Homo-oligomer: A and B are copies of this chain.
């Protein structure tokens, strides 16, 4: 009781400027799976990963490609900032979102000391509005020979080589690398892959996602054995497009509880 009163008195006169405050932002790493639209580079899979970049209209790094981001406002949690950035800059709501890592190098922003809490979002392209599916902001991530290339899906002449420094604004290159590593490490022991396929998918589509994230081909029989416990047949088949019909599956926890 005495303590409570003394604490109240302490808080009333507390000088919040004793320690210098810092600017805090969130940056958004939005990944999806896409068709690899090129064949002048060693193809590991028909499908690849893509990342959503925005071209900066303002200084600093004007005209550079960057991850969408924004300042954390005093009345927002970090996740609320991340969701606001997705809404305002990409017109996206309701994505799978996880906190990735907090980047705090002293000179990462030329304006001032800015600490950035990066979030990773995973989207299934066919869930998006058509204009967003086809947007000029998607870049194929092409990995091989120890380098990572980002190639604009709609304009393959825009190609960013991440082994070269300063091809992206700020430390966004680093954030992409950390995100790719995180996803690669987590895909085998979590259910993250299911955020990257439609609700109903063929096992080949699911295998494509794992191959795109891991950056290597998998053997179908072994893949199917490891994935078996996580999926269940919907009883539906694919139709059309000249292929033999394939069985459609869904993620096991998506099934009604009486099944």
Whether the Cβ atoms of A3 and B115 lie closer than 8 Å is no
User: Which of B10, B19, B20, B113 meets A60, CB within 8 Å?
Assistant: B10
User: Which of B59, B61, B104 meets A72, CB within 8 Å?
Assistant: B104
Q: A3-B62, A22-B23, A78-B104 are in contact. List 10 more A-B contacts (CB 8 A).
A: A6-B62, A10-B60, A14-B112, A22-B72, A74-B106, A77-B106, A78-B102, A99-B101, A99-B102, A115-B117
Contacts of A78 in B (CB 8 A): 102, 104, 115
Contacts of A113 in B (CB 8 A): 74
The residue in A19, A78, A110, A189 that gathers the most chain B C-beta atoms within 10 A of its C-beta is A19
In the complex where A21-B21, A99-B102 touch, is A16 in contact with B117 (Cβ < 8 A)? no
User: Which of B63, B79, B112, B189 meets A16, CB within 8 Å?
Assistant: B112
Q: Which residues of A (81-138) have their CB < 8 Å from a CB of B?
A: 99, 101-102, 104-106, 110-113, 115, 117
Contacts of A16 in B (CB 8 A): 23, 111-112
Contacts of A189 in B (CB 8 A): 185, 188-189
Nearest residue in B to A64 (C-beta to C-beta)?
Answer: B3
Nearest Cβ on chain B to A69's Cβ, whole angstroms: 12
Contacts of A102 in B (CB 8 A): 78, 99, 102, 117
User: Which of B6, B72, B79, B188 meets A115, CB within 8 Å?
Assistant: B72
